[in-house]
Chain A
């Protein structure tokens, strides 16, 4: 490549990077303006108001929104991991009639939009008194993560050489023992990635939280942000601070585990 074309291609990549970066810098600079600024200009504040974050956390209630999201995510993730591991193992290791059909039934869920199930969920969960409890979001999320989770764990168990479990079987180990003592230790990376992705999807979920948790006191971080913007959209600095608070946990997790996140999402899509 000539120097000129190399420079052009580098410039193109840098511009692409800036297109992603600038919106984040803009929202950060907006979050640091005095809350009296109507629409903050794109400029670094002369007197950064870090206190806006404290105000968003307490008086705008983002602290309690985060608490809801955490409660939901830390329930959904372990249950999903356990159910997906068991079912992924079952789908990978047993032959039975209707197995292909069952797998297709699970996989169909990968294409199903939340819009297609949320209305009956609202009426059904209301009639059993679960609406406005965290279970209204936790239970459907666990169900919704089954297709990907089973699929993910099944491919993991199928990638392990069969000799490993056969040897254990000859030694007289039960199915449960094979799963927990022989296969599970090999599954740690697959489980880590699945756990991270599940946490992210649970944390980011908006539609279910918006409709199934109508009580403002129960709102999650995204649904709280989505309703906050409609009520206090005028107060851009406070809104911007709240937005960054909602993003922060998932962004930090991404920075710490970026390899798992990226390879997990790419492999998950490719599989």
Chain B
């Protein structure tokens, strides 16, 4: 990714005089003072951002890890319990279930949208024109909306007498109609589809920009080898957008594991615990059952899980390319 690509360029841009003398002569007082001035200047420029980020993001995170080592109801005194909360996060059925649901959402937030996105992007690439540009903008729309609003819209669509069931009846499928979000068998599927609805547009556009960059001559070579459209798609297009697939996977997996808004307003984690995810369970643990230490342990596990997955995907992406 560009993070690493830009590093060499930045090295070249080192003010030539300073870098040139550095290697040849030992540090002169003038050079040393310049270096110190540089460090102070850097501090002045980066300092405010560092304070904002350190104080309101990094410190709370560290504090959360600290709280996770205690049993605390949020009001009274706290008791040191060591790693007990973590044992509970990894063994208690409700907490494990929340993590499992979060991971299960990856299918709806990542796998399905990238699969659909590959097909849609290829179709867009084959259908240039203003109409298809408008259609791409439309597909992107769910991505910029407040997810709470998305949740409210789908809550209405899925309701017992709502539009989804109404459409099913029109197609003669009256037998399968139900309150989709209230049914143990369908609630998870229903909230998952909302995730697919949100992320498919982003994946499609990411993959579409990747496909624009593929060298046309690769397709011509494939045609000479008598590859049909399907084989061209499999052997030229998909390898050509590998970088974009890695990015789309990373971004959408974070969205899946950290999902909160849509589930909070559609099901609240129910029925029972059918759609509970870490975010909603953390909220419940703090504000309804007063288990703040346990909530912080779950939050820590969630953030570490996301970091590990992102690092692994980054590593895989780099190895292959």
Contacts and interface: CB of A to CB of B under 8 A. Distances in A.
B3 A12 contact: no
Contacts, number: 296
Interface in B117-133: 119-120, 123-124, 126-127, 132
A36 B16 CA distance: 74
Interface in A169-195: 169, 175
A117 B38 contact: no
Interface in A95-130: 95-96, 99, 102, 105-109, 111-124
A168 to B, nearest CB: 12
Interface stretch (B81-89, B151-159, B216-224, B232-240): B151-159
Interface majority SS on B: helix, strand, loop or mixed?
helix
Contacts of A121: 56, 60
Interface majority SS on A: helix, strand, loop or mixed?
helix
Interface string A12-42: 1110110111111011001000000011011
Nearest to A207: B260
Contacts of B2: 155, 270-271
A95 B46 CA distance: 12
Nearest to B281: A115
A146 B123 contact: no
Interface size class of B (residues with CB under 8 A): 35 or more
B261 interface: yes
A96 B38 contact: yes
B184 to A, nearest CB: 20
Given A86-B48, A115-B258, A120-B63, A262 B140 contact: yes
A111 B167 contact: no
A117 B41 contact: no
A158 B279 CA distance: 37
B191 interface: no
Interface string A68-91: 000000000000000110110111
B247 interface: yes
